[in-house]
Amino acid sequence: MGHSAAVWDSRLAIETTKDWNGIEQIVLRNPQGGSARVSLHGGQVVSWRNERGEELLFTSSKDLGEKATG
């Protein structure tokens, strides 16, 4: 069986913030400039950016502001 161990790199940055609805998020950054933003409500990854700041997650251009029916 394989074993895993947590490795802490002090060059990594972890930040807590809130979205526009006040939901807490964690932002993880690496030394090369990449980042991931994770919502603490449901654990969703809401952003993943490479070292050039390009968003790597697909988001729909459809307006999701209204409640879905169906």
Which sequence spans correspond to the domains of the chain?
18-49
Residue 14's nearest CA partner among 30, 32, 3 is: 30
Amino acid 31: pLDDT: 87
Write the CB contacts of 70 (distance below 8 Å, at least 6 apart in sequence): none
Amino acid identity, position 67: K
pTM beyond cutoff 0.85: no
| 3-class SS letters over 6-68 | CCCCCCCEEEEEECCCCCEEEEEECCCCCEEEEECCCCCEEEEECCCCCECCCCCCCCCCCCC
- 28-50 pLDDT, tens per residue? 999 888 999 999 998 899 999 99
